[in-house]
A and B are shown apart, each in its own frame.
Chain A
Amino acid sequence: MNTDQPLISVKNLSKAYKMGDIEFLALRNVSLDIEKGAFAAIMGPSGSGKSTFMNLLGCLDAPTKGEYLLDGVNVLSLGKNQLAELRNRKIGFIFQSFNILARTSAIENVELPMLYNNSVKSKERREKAMNALKSVGLADRAQHMPSQLSGGQQQRVAIARSLVNDPLVIMADEPTGNLDTRSSYEIMGIFQQLNDKGITIVMVTHELDIAQFARSNIMFRDGQIVSNTAVNARKIAKDELIKLPVINPSEVLT
């Protein structure tokens, strides 16, 4: 691993969606480097290609053309099985809609990536899953089913799942899109903690205030990057949570 080279490096990445005869170019020659330890927030209007870009970065989809190096590995030259291993070991992906298995307890959901990872012994598995749940503050909800958890808690299960194989990078597509402000800030708190520990984070968001928790903001428009700027007054989740007004039920009634 070369410390000089960026963790993520894409050049002229394009993605065309085919619908019958019509081709729609959702990404147009996007080039971007993301350094190790970065915390980037991707913003842009709806339909500008943010999710498309994230899915390519997360190796969930294949581009139409371009280059993509992840941690020095040429991703586009890999076969299906190697991509699966890459997703398993190096990437933690978080979805707006959580995508955790229904009727499966929180702890079993967190264990899932380790079941596809041979280097994790079965004895370590439960312990590692428990630690991951602890780090997102859900140790006491380990046996709960998704239907017994709030949206914010489900998203934290998904984060614990993404962490459990010690990935290099966490990719999150609108992780707070379905959550209220408090839950969103809590998620940001977790992200900032992870980022402080050296994990790279790339996150898509619609909300300006959420983007302020990142170190840099990347703007998308019509399938292209229009700006990439550092965040000036970066918000710290711990402080912001304290500032949030506590809603007192009796006050609301009066």
Chain B
Amino acid sequence: MRIVNLLKIAYRSLSKNKLRVLLTMLGIIIGVASVIAMLAIGQGSKQNIQSSVASLGTNSIMIYPGSSTQGGVRMGAGSYSTLTKKDAEAIVAKCEFVTDVSPVVQKSSQIIAGNKNWHTMVVGGLSQYFSIRNLKIEKGNIFSSNDERTAAKVCVIGLTVSDNLFGANGDAVGQFIRINSIPFKVIGVIERKGQNSFGQDQDDIIIAPFSTVQKRMLSTIFLNSILASATSEDDIDKAKAQITSIIRIQHRLSPNNEDDFTVRSQADIANIFGSISRIMTILLACIASISLVVGGIGIMNIMLVSVTERTREIGIRMAVGARGRDVLIQFMIESVFISVLGGLIGIALGILISMLVGKFGGWPVVITGTSIILAFAFSSAVGMFFGWYPARKAASLNPIDALRYE
């Protein structure tokens, strides 16, 4: 009976102050929506990184020149010159835990076909490079060991290169292109892989036989890296250990010399990327929390501004017989209504923003239940607290003091 009356009182009060209700709600809506959107973006990039790392082949192992303690993984070409083709051959000969091995060299080059030109990375590798990196051929073929032996001027190109040189519908296979003025025959096109986690286009690539790139384009004996794939996921650690000792012997390193190369498995890279994306998620969460706090301050502001009017109102209510508890329950109902409705609208808006970012920003988004619950719970708590706090203060006054409050 009493609660029905209090619901009625709260309903009347809310419907008489629509603007105030709306403004208070706005703070909650923005806070909740931004947390959900930010976390969805962070979570999306994390999953994107995980899946693109996995698509590189979970068994693969990379060997880079230079020591990891001297500055981490070197992605750039030619920072250190320690690895040679002999090292790759030694791994093939002595390591029992690898199936495929390919030395890798690369050079950023100018490509010309007819009147079109394009700039891209030309990678030199063995035919095993394709299986290690999990690359499939859409049209044509990959090069043979014969091409490798004769340093044939043939290449396999990515779809981005093909689209730019021969048009979206053009057939690249069999055509000739000039790489740094050297004519190459296109013998295959790689199936689309899309962007990797850093937004890099993985189809913007040309792959040619190792010997061709090394001898005709680079004329250096040093490698950018060696790629290998372990016999199975369980053998990765054993393979890494064996590769390390094989190359140490190759490089004649004494026990007190550091490695002059770095061996990393796909799992190591996944971990590094994982921690990068964790940091990013934390950053985004921080931004979102700030907006929640700002939203909370907005709620607080409106509540405090209306406190004069409300204190007088509370005085009137108490003068006609409202108990302190009645006033508190009325205010709780009002704040719960505002926070919950604001929270629900915020959730809807957050999901909408996430989807728009996903659609038009080309950014992957993943909306998680945790982020929804987190944002909803926090903003509701803020809304309820700041709705209830002035009421509590006023309800503890003498009726006459509440009536006199200015």
- Do the two shown chains form a genuine complex with each other? yes
A87 near B2 with CB under 8 A, answer: no
B321 near A60 with CB under 8 A, answer: no
For the complex formed, measure the closest distance between the CB of A27 and the CB atoms of chain B, giving whole angstroms.
14
B324 near A116 with CB under 8 A, answer: no
List chain B residues, Cβ under 8 A from A236: none
A55 near B325 with CB under 8 A, answer: no
The answer to whether residues A115 and B9 also contact, given A60-B398, A61-B400, A84-B323 and a CB cut-off of 8 A, is yes
Is A122 located at the chain interface by the 8 A CB criterion?
yes
- Chain A stretch 196-250: residues in CB contact (< 8 A) with chain B: none
A103 near B16 with CB under 8 A, answer: yes
Is A36 located at the chain interface by the 8 A CB criterion?
no
B323 near A81 with CB under 8 A, answer: yes
- Chain B stretch 300-350: residues in CB contact (< 8 A) with chain A: 309, 312-313, 315-326
The answer to whether residues A99 and B316 also contact, given A60-B399, A115-B8 and a CB cut-off of 8 A, is yes
Q: Among the listed A60, A108, A161, which residue makes an inter-chain contact with B400, where contact means beta carbons less than 8 Å apart?
A: A60
Is B5 located at the chain interface by the 8 A CB criterion?
yes
CB nearest neighbor in A for B322: A116
List chain A residues, Cβ under 8 A from B252: none
Is A129 located at the chain interface by the 8 A CB criterion?
no
Is A191 located at the chain interface by the 8 A CB criterion?
no
Is A117 located at the chain interface by the 8 A CB criterion?
yes
Query: How distant is the Cα of A84 from the Cα of B12 in the complex, in angstroms?
Result: 21
Query: How distant is the Cα of A103 from the Cα of B313 in the complex, in angstroms?
Result: 11
CB nearest neighbor in A for B401: A61
For the complex formed, measure the closest distance between the CB of B6 and the CB atoms of chain A, giving whole angstroms.
8
Query: How distant is the Cα of A101 from the Cα of B314 in the complex, in angstroms?
Result: 10
Query: How distant is the Cα of A80 from the Cα of B325 in the complex, in angstroms?
Result: 10
Tally of contact residues, B, Cβ under 8 A: 30
B interface SS class: helix
Q: Among the listed A55, A88, A93, A101, which residue makes an inter-chain contact with B313, where contact means beta carbons less than 8 Å apart?
A: A101
Is A189 located at the chain interface by the 8 A CB criterion?
no
Contact code string A165-191 (vs B, CB < 8 Å = 1, else 0): 100000000000000000000000000
Is A152 located at the chain interface by the 8 A CB criterion?
no
A115 near B316 with CB under 8 A, answer: no
Is B93 located at the chain interface by the 8 A CB criterion?
no
Is B403 located at the chain interface by the 8 A CB criterion?
yes
Is B75 located at the chain interface by the 8 A CB criterion?
no
List chain A residues, Cβ under 8 A from B318: 84, 87
Q: Among the listed B1, B316, B322, B325, which residue makes an inter-chain contact with A100, where contact means beta carbons less than 8 Å apart?
A: B316
Query: How distant is the Cα of A115 from the Cα of B12 in the complex, in angstroms?
Result: 12
For the complex formed, measure the closest distance between the CB of B403 and the CB atoms of chain A, giving whole angstroms.
7
List chain A residues, Cβ under 8 A from B313: 101
B12 near A104 with CB under 8 A, answer: yes
- Chain A stretch 108-156: residues in CB contact (< 8 A) with chain B: 108, 112-113, 115-118, 122
Query: How distant is the Cα of A161 from the Cα of B321 in the complex, in angstroms?
Result: 12
Query: How distant is the Cα of A104 from the Cα of B14 in the complex, in angstroms?
Result: 11
Query: How distant is the Cα of A89 from the Cα of B320 in the complex, in angstroms?
Result: 9
8 nearest A-B pairs in the assembled complex, by CB-CB distance: A88-B321, A113-B320, A60-B400, A84-B323, A116-B321, A61-B400, A60-B399, A103-B16
Can you list 22 pairs linking A and B with CB atoms under 8 Å apart?
A55-B400, A60-B399, A60-B403, A61-B399, A84-B321, A84-B322, A84-B326, A85-B321, A87-B321, A89-B321, A99-B315, A99-B403, A101-B313, A104-B16, A112-B317, A113-B320, A115-B5, A116-B5, A116-B317, A116-B322, A122-B5, A161-B320
4 extra interchain contacts, Cβ-Cβ under 8 A, other than A112-B316, A113-B320, A116-B323?
A60-B403, A104-B12, A116-B5, A118-B5
